[in-house]
Amino acid sequence: MSTSRAILDATDLLVERLRGLSFSDPVSHVYNPLDYARAPHELYVNRFARGNKRVLLLGMNPGPWGMAQTGVPFGEIPAVRDWMDLSAPVGHPDPEHPKRPIEGFACAKSEVSGRRLWGLFAERYPSVEDFFATHYVVNYCPLVWMEASGRNRTPDKLPAGEMVPVEAACDEYLATHLRVLSPEILVGVGGFAEACLARVAQNTGSSARIGRILHPSPASPAANRDWAGTAARQLRGLGVWED
């Protein structure tokens, strides 16, 4: 079985395991772009998850204007459409939050985290094929949680009991990536992702080196002070990149 097929099979299992889970207030809506944005996500996996990867980078969960719209991790639309050359129809979650509509590749809003992350990679690797020859990017959890106000709610803010079935499903999904891609270096985009990598790597017996880079979210004051320069230095320190 090809690596991309194994990952897509794991994706189907993850979507099924997460379907129907309930979450308490203040969560009012939950989106899963691996479901309604399956078409562009499948293009991403089929094109870029081929063969072993030296480096696996892990995000936390989708942003409302990135992966929630495109089905691609950190899916800033110009990066996905223009650098990756990916585009496909996107459906709608049910129910859909009136303040967080899904417009797919027609969405005019920018996902700052994705713009920063993919912008850094595209600057170093003008050819997208050169980047993905040795790197791969995935999100730990595909769910987007929103409050009635439309405010995003990250998984680290949810009750531990509600996250038990989510973590079980997402750990197995991540474990599949470690098994089939055989990465040598695991990089968490932020502390939450790094902790997930450490836990799953231990459970799967992976000997990969583990580290993290600063999350590019504009909500982080540190990320708003030369995030690209900081992340590049961290990647060099982890042995991902050389000067």
pLDDT of res. 60: 96
pLDDT of res. 182: 98
First to last CA, the chain: 36
pLDDT of res. 243: 80
Q: What is the CATH number of the domain that holds 216?
A: 3.40.470.10
Domain-embedded: residue 16: yes
pLDDT of res. 57: 98
How far is C-alpha 143 from the chain's CA centre?
10
Tell me if 118 sits within 8 A of 189, measured CB to CB.
Answer: no
Domain-embedded: residue 213: yes
Domain-embedded: residue 67: yes
pLDDT of res. 156: 87
Domain-embedded: residue 243: no
Amino acid at 122: A
Q: What is the number of other CB atoms lying within 10 angstroms of the CB of residue 131?
A: 20
Range of the domain at 33: 3-237
Phi and psi dihedrals of 109, rounded to 5? -85, 155
pLDDT of res. 90: 98
pLDDT of res. 105: 98
Whole-structure pTM over 0.95, yes or no? yes
Instruction: State how far the alpha carbon of 207 is from the alpha carbons of 45, 51, 60, 190, in Å.
Output: 24, 18, 22, 20
- Cis-peptide into 98, omega within 30 deg: no
* Sheet order of strands, 209-213 included: 135-139, 55-59, 185-189, 209-213
What is the token pair recorded at 88?
């496909």
pLDDT of res. 6: 98
Q: Per residue of the chain (243 residues), give pLDDT as tens.
A: 899 999 999 999 999 999 989 999 999 999 999 999 999 999 999 999 999 999 999 999 999 999 999 999 999 999 999 999 999 999 999 999 999 999 999 999 999 999 999 999 999 999 999 999 999 999 999 999 999 999 999 888 899 999 999 999 999 999 999 999 999 999 999 999 999 999 999 999 999 999 999 999 999 999 999 999 999 999 999 999 998
Domain-embedded: residue 242: no
Q: How many domains does the chain have?
A: 1
Domain-embedded: residue 88: yes
pLDDT of res. 238: 97
Domain-embedded: residue 191: yes
